[in-house]
Amino acid sequence: MKTMPVQKIALTALFVTLTVIGAFIQIPTAWVSFTLQILFVFLAGALLGPKYGALSQIVYVVLGLAGFHVFTKGGGIGYVFQPSFGFLLGYIPGAFIVGKILEKKKAAVPRIILACVAALAAIYAVGLPYMAWVLNGYMGRNLSFGTILKSGCLIFLPWDALKIAATAILARILIPVLRRSGC
């Protein structure tokens, strides 16, 4: 059985914690609050790689489902009926995708941006259908695809672009540092 290196365990725990913190750093607007979770999802994949980046998000989701108040609106198994829960599930493949695209490659800004855009597409690919299912199937709201797309995706895209830019800057600096240290 292969053991996890201590550095990877510590960094994985760090990104679980940062994702939790990101849920509570909120930028309120007239319609919704924007959080920093996706920034930490991107960075988890970029800095930890696909396996440990995804693991950090699995642990985050499991902690929330176990009842710890780590999600924006709380925690517990009932959170699966929140319209936003699908996006949380999307964090797992999102971190994996960023890590896979950047794995063993030069940490060039265009590659980092590409990795984040691909991850964001995966997060929305999981989150939007889940949101539609909760809102229309479970809550019986009968919202159109356009309404769900607008309220679950389009409104967030400018903020997501800023998070991608921040990830590109931070990852460009931190990836070489971590690789030199053997992480």
CA distances from 2 to 5, 49, 136, 178 (A): 9, 17, 45, 21
> How far is residue 7's CA from residue 36's CA, in Å, rounded to a whole number?
24
pTM above 0.85, yes or no: yes
10 Å CB burial of residue 1 (0-12, 13-18, 19+) is exposed
- For position 30, what pLDDT does the model report? 59
- List beta partners, residue 27: 34
> How far is residue 66's CA from residue 1's CA, in Å, rounded to a whole number?
27
- List beta partners, residue 26: 35
Q: Where residue 182 falls among pLDDT bands split at 50, 70, 90?
A: confident
Given a contact cutoff of 8 angstroms between Cβ atoms, the answer to whether 175 and 162 are in contact is no
Q: Where residue 180 falls among pLDDT bands split at 50, 70, 90?
A: confident
Q: Where residue 105 falls among pLDDT bands split at 50, 70, 90?
A: confident
> How far is residue 74's CA from residue 19's CA, in Å, rounded to a whole number?
14
- For position 169, what pLDDT does the model report? 97
pLDDT, tens digit (0-9, with 9 covering 90-100), for 118-171? 999 999 999 999 999 999 999 999 999 999 999 999 999 999 999 999 999 999
Given a contact cutoff of 8 angstroms between Cβ atoms, the answer to whether 71 and 89 are in contact is no
- SS3 of 28, please? strand
- For position 31, what pLDDT does the model report? 57
Asked whether residue 183 carries a pLDDT value surpassing 80, the answer given is no
Asked whether residue 3 carries a pLDDT value surpassing 80, the answer given is no
pLDDT, tens digit (0-9, with 9 covering 90-100), for 18-77? 999 999 998 876 556 789 999 999 999 999 999 999 999 999 999 999 999 999 989 999
Domains in the chain, please, with CATH?
A: 6-178 (1.10.1760.20)
Given a contact cutoff of 8 angstroms between Cβ atoms, the answer to whether 52 and 11 are in contact is yes
> How far is residue 39's CA from residue 166's CA, in Å, rounded to a whole number?
8
158: number of Cβ within 10 Å: 9
